[in-house]
């Protein structure tokens, strides 16, 4: 514990010492470096200049020129991980689920592609601090509601405001696919075909066809269709939320018919049943993490836990999200969802990729974040333990876009406060 305190104190010194000197060079030396692409470098070197990673090497084969580096930090015995990314999240869009005034992720209306989560993002959310403590450094702020919810944006969790936080603006439109089958599961209702399914699909198709026709014209202006223009030019992703097998197959046909360049399925509970179709269509999946019950009473009890392994074995590109009840504050558990997937078949590199590089690739930011590689943003953290294991995850310091960040939050402040109280009580 004393050694850790010394290390933390040193990092605080570095943090304050380098404020305002963005182009200083820092070398993290002799740590175990988890790249994020499945590779691990024991005794690794990670060099940072400004907000960019400029060196990733093995200390055993690379000669260190000490004159090149302003600061060299010896991290022998510790681990370096890339910052985790939380896709499909309301983090920053809501503070307290039970207080309506703090929920800013849903607008009235059915087709709202022009709604932007970007401008609703609250960089000062108290929840964000509790999430950073476990290594989650980026989030996809995602709207909800209606048939088309609006546009998400990729945000940094270390920022003054939403303008400062944005990593990628309006990365994609979110479409909520109707359920072909209603009932079943734990509702107690028997399964039945959704009689309105075909009608709802026609409405969706009609809206998209109109938007597609609009994208080829510049004669008129429509705010909703304008927001969808880049779907058809290949600059924006279409995130289609659906879980049932029939829905997934219809989604694959839908994106193919409309020539959507970057479709992504969000949810994908039945994706393991149609892996060959997903691979052929090159459609990635953002799956819900495994800390949940099966959706159907006849499913294997461990299906939600094994789903990442099943998709990985089939060659489907996927990443892990944590949508559901209390998802905002539970974003801090994202690394442990990956850890659970590791316990059910994935190796450590595959599990780590499911919340780092795979996520970045699916969100269209894989060239700048998601792994510890030269040329990418210096977003990483130093850990004393396995970051995917809730029993040993212990972040010592973190860096987002080349800036050391404060890892304290309201919970750590209360812990320190009451630790001092009990120490005084014992002394008295």
Q: What is the pLDDT of residues 256-309, one digit of tens each?
A: 999 899 999 999 999 999 999 999 999 999 999 888 889 888 899 999 999 999
Residue 107 has a pLDDT of 83
Averaged pLDDT, 247-261: 94
Do 24 and 110 lie in one domain? The reply is no
Residue 361 confidence (pLDDT) above 80: yes
d(CA 426, CA 418): 12
Q: Could you tell me the two tokens for 114?
A: 């022009």
- Residue 363 contacts residue 85 (beta carbons within 8 Å): yes
Say what the pLDDT of residue 187 is.
63
Mean pLDDT to the nearest integer, 158-182: 94
Residue 21: per-residue pLDDT: 46
Q: Which pair of structure tokens corresponds to residue 71?
A: 């600061």
Answer yes or no: is 45 within a domain. Answer: yes
> Structure pTM?
0.92
Q: What is the CATH number of the domain that holds 49?
A: 2.30.40.10
SS3 state at 79: strand
Contact 26, 73 (CB under 8 A): yes
Three-state SS at 414 = helix
Print the domain residue range for 285. Answer: 84-369
d(CA 380, CA 403): 10
Nearest-angstrom CA–CA distance, 123 and 162? 6
State the pLDDT at residue 422. 83
Share of the chain above pLDDT 70, in %: 92
CA dist., res. 238 & res. 179, Å (int): 18
- pLDDT at position 421: 84
Q: Are residues 153 and 93 in the same domain?
A: yes
Q: What is the mean pLDDT of the chain?
A: 90
Domain boundary among 319, 339, 369: 369
In a domain, 313, yes or no: yes
> Does any domain span residue 378?
no
Q: Return d(Cα 71, Cα 274) in angstroms, integer.
A: 51
Distance between CA 115 and CA 119 in Å, rounded?
Answer: 9
- Indicate the number of domains in the chain: 2
Instruction: Tell which of 369, 400, 417 closes a domain.
Output: 369
Top pLDDT among 140 and 19 is at 140
List, for residues 365-413, the tens digit of each pLDDT value.
Answer: 999 999 999 999 999 999 999 999 999 999 999 999 999 999 988 888 8
> Distance between CA 375 and CA 355 in Å, rounded?
20
Domain shared by 44 and 145, yes or no: no
284 & 155 share domain: yes
Of the chain, the percentage scoring pLDDT greater than 90 comes to 72
Torsion angle in degrees (nearest 10) through CA of 156, 162, 164, 170: 70
| Cα–Cα dist 387/141, whole Å | 23
* 69 in a structural domain: yes
- Interval 31-51 mean pLDDT: 95
Residues 167 and 205 in one domain: yes
Q: What is the DSSP track for 179-231?
A: PSEES-TTSSPPPEE-TTHHHHHHHHHHHHHHHHHHHT--SS--HHHHHHHHH
Quickly tell me which residue has 């359920």 as its tokens: 179
352 lies in the same domain as 417? no
Looking up residue 121, the CATH number of its domain turns out to be 3.20.20.140
Q: Give yes or no: residues 189 and 173 share one domain.
A: yes
Q: Are residues 418 and 400 in the same domain?
A: yes
Residue 6 has pLDDT above 60, yes or no: no
Residue 396 lies in a domain: yes
Q: Which of 297, 360, 292, 358 is nearest to 324 (CA)?
A: 292
Categorize the per-residue pLDDT at 188 as very low, low, confident or very high, splitting at 50, 70 and 90: low
The domain boundary, picked from 369, 392, 408, lies at 369
350 with 337, same domain? yes
- What pLDDT was estimated at residue 186? 65
Instruction: Give the separation between CA 207 and CA 407, rounded to whole angstroms.
Output: 45
**pLDDT tens for residues 66-112?**
889 999 999 999 999 999 999 999 998 988 776 676 777 778 889 99
Report which of residues 156 and 222 the model is more confident about: 156
Indicate whether 266 belongs to any domain: yes
Residue at 318 is within a domain: yes
Measure the CA–CA gap between 138 and 365, rounded to whole angstroms. Answer: 11
In a shared domain, residues 108 and 173: yes
Is 77 inside any structural domain?
Answer: yes
Same domain, 249 and 196: yes
Q: Is the pLDDT of residue 318 over 80?
A: yes
Both tokens assigned to 128: 């964000």
- pLDDT at position 101 is 67
State how far the Cα of 243 lies from the Cα of 117, in Å rounded to an integer.
23
Do residue 410 and residue 271 come from a single domain?
no
Q: Residue 325: its pLDDT value, please?
A: 81
């Amino acid at each position: 514990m004393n050694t850790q305190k010394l290390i933390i104190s040193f990092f605080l010194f570095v943090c304050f010492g380098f404020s305002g000197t963005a182009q200083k060079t820092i070398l993290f030396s002799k740590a175990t470096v988890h790249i994020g692409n499945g590779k691990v470098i024991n005794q690794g070197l990670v060099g940072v200049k400004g907000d960019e990673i400029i060196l990733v090497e093995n200390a055993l084969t690379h000669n260190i020129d000490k004159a090149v580096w302003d600061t060299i930090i010896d991290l022998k015995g510790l681990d370096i991980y890339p910052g985790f990314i939380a896709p499909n999240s309301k983090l920053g869009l809501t503070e307290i689920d039970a207080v309506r005034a703090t929920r800013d992720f849903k607008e009235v209306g059915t087709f709202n592609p022009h709604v932007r989560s970007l401008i609703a993002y609250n960089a000062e959310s108290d929840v964000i601090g509790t999430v950073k403590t476990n290594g989650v450094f980026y989030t996809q702020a995602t709207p909800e509601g209606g048939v088309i919810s609006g546009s998400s944006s990729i945000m940094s969790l270390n920022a003054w405001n939403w303008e400062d936080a944005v990593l990628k603006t309006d990365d994609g439109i979110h479409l909520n696919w109707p359920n072909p089958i209603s009932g079943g599961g734990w509702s107690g209702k028997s399964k039945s075909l959704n009689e309105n399914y075909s009608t709802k699909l026609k409405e969706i198709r009609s809206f998209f066809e109109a938007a597609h026709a609009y994208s080829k014209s510049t004669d008129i202006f429509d705010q909703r269709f304008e927001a969808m223009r880049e779907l058809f030019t290949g600059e924006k992703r279409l995130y289609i939320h659906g879980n049932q097998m029939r829905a997934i197959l219809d989604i694959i046909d839908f994106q193919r018919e409309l020539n959507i360049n970057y479709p992504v399925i969000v949810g994908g509970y039945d994706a393991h049943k149609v892996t060959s179709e997903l691979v052929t269509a090159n459609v990635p999946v953002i799956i819900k993490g495994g800390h949940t019950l099966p959706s159907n009473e006849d499913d294997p009890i461990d299906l939600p836990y094994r789903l990442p392994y099943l998709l990985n074995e089939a060659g489907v590109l996927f990443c892990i999200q944590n949508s559901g009840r209390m998802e905002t504050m539970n974003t801090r558990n994202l690394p442990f969802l990956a850890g659970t997937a590791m316990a059910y078949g994935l190796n450590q590199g595959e599990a780590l990729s499911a919340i780092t590089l795979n996520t970045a690739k699916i969100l269209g930011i894989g060239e700048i974040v998601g792994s510890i590689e030269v040329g990418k943003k210096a977003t990483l953290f130093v850990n004393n333990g396995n970051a995917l294991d809730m029993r040993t995850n212990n972040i010592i310091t973190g860096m987002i876009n080349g800036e050391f960040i404060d890892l304290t939050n309201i919970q750590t402040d209360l812990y320190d406060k009451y630790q001092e109280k009990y120490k005084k009580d014992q002394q008295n």
